[in-house]
Amino acid sequence: MSVPRTTAVALLATSLLGVTACTADPVPTSGSDAKAPAAAIPQQQVDKALQDKLPAKVKTAGKIVAVNNGSFPPYVIVGTDKGAPVEGATADLSQAVGQLLGIQIEHTTVDGLASVLSGMQAGRYDLDMGPTGDFVERQKQATFIDYVQEYVVFAVHKGNPKGIDGLDTACGKRVAVQAAGSAEKVIKAQSTKCVAAGKPAVDVQSYKDQPSSILAVQSDRADAVFSSQAPLTYFVAQSGGKLELAGVGKGNGFEDLFQGALVPVGSPLADVLLAAIEKLHANGTYDAIMTKWGLEQNKLPTPGLNLGKS
């Protein structure tokens, strides 16, 4: 999903790793190193015109119920304690949007994108702030409000001993991915190509969240992680020099990859959220948030609805 980020930011809770910490070097969770990067995010004033466009249900409740499918640093960082606030670039963007609309955006965590989509379709959740990959087939299930552009690369052991520098070199390798994500679909398709060419299949290992897939490499159960470059850059920076990025600057099975928030198809929230994010672009808040979290290379100059075309 880009080019290397500037610095690592806000540290991830080890309880989300999904396996025992003794099998690898966990990401720190406490102490001064666990604090989010210091940066001033402008306080927003309520935009009455946008607030008036909110659905009646939201106005009455005074809140939007948002959902996420686990930690995806530096966008989404879920705390260890139940009820702990979600942190990261997405949380900062959510807070700014909430201030503009004069409402609270409450976050809850579920396992996997399938649970997010089914929960929204059942009316349990109003929104997923993402960012989630926008693809044409997903637009049948949700409307995307795209606000970042991503790239897909590999994270490998330092020195890249397996020589993985793109999809073509993944044959016969153990590759960890997040279950039900777009990267899983692409690496499985590559495995089929490997077999058709008389090469060993890719050993695709699917995990429920990003931290678990990273830990698979750290504990030498996988040779690489295949995922968005923004979170992989974060994890590489937190690995103490034990991991590095590979396959940077290549398409790796993806064309232009837009990511964003999603709401149920037909939800009036789509236009309201797009207008809110457009305003945050115009007043500099979007730039401040992306810079705070080292995401300058992922900025999307103009947000939009359903920008994904592949």
pLDDT digits (tens, 9 = 90+) for 199-218: 999 999 999 888 899 999 99
Together in a domain, 68 and 173 = no
Together in a domain, 209 and 79 = no
Together in a domain, 235 and 276 = no
CATH label of the domain that carries residue 215: 3.40.190.10
Task: Report the first-to-last Cα separation within the chain, whole angstroms.
Answer: 15
Together in a domain, 81 and 141 = yes
Residue 9: pLDDT band (50, 70, 90) is: very low
Residue 172 lies in a domain: yes
Which contacts of 133-136 are long-range, i.e. CB under 8 A and separated by 24 or more positions? 133/181, 133/182, 133/257, 133/258, 133/259, 133/308, 134/257, 134/258, 134/259, 134/260, 134/306, 134/307, 134/308, 135/182, 135/308, 135/310, 136/308, 136/309, 136/310
Q: Quick one: CA dihedral 213, 215, 221, 226, positive or negative?
A: positive
Residue 28: pLDDT band (50, 70, 90) is: very low
DSSP state of 11: P
Together in a domain, 144 and 269 = yes
Four-point Cα dihedral 175, 189, 300, 126, nearest 10: -90
The H-or-E segment that residue 168 falls in is none
Residue 181 lies in a domain: yes
Together in a domain, 117 and 204 = no
Residue 16 lies in a domain: no
Q: Quick one: CA dihedral 234, 240, 243, 245, positive or negative?
A: positive
Residue 9 lies in a domain: no
Residue 66 lies in a domain: yes
Measured between alpha carbons, how far is 19 from 200 in angstroms, rounded to an integer? 28
Using a pLDDT cut of 70, give the percent of the chain over it.
Answer: 86
Q: Which tokens belong to 179?
A: 């279950």
Domain that holds residue 48: 36-149+258-300
Instruction: Kindly give the residue spans of alpha helices, DSSP state H, lying in the chain.
Output: 48-52, 56-61, 89-101, 113-121, 182-196, 210-218, 229-237, 269-282, 285-292
Residue 116 lies in a domain: yes
Together in a domain, 115 and 172 = no
* Residue that terminates a domain, selected from 246, 268, 284: 246
pLDDT at 3 over 90: no
Residue 167: per-residue pLDDT: 96
Residue 201: per-residue pLDDT: 98
Together in a domain, 138 and 156 = no
Together in a domain, 45 and 178 = no
Q: Looking at residues 238-263, what average pLDDT do you find?
A: 94
Q: Between residues 310 and 257, which one has the greater pLDDT?
A: 257
Cβ contacts of residue 40 below 8 Å, gap of 6+?
Answer: 288
* Residue that terminates a domain, selected from 200, 218, 246: 246
Q: Looking at residues 151-179, what average pLDDT do you find?
A: 97
Q: Looking at residues 220-244, what average pLDDT do you find?
A: 95
Together in a domain, 135 and 162 = no
Together in a domain, 137 and 161 = no
- Give the number of domains in the chain: 2
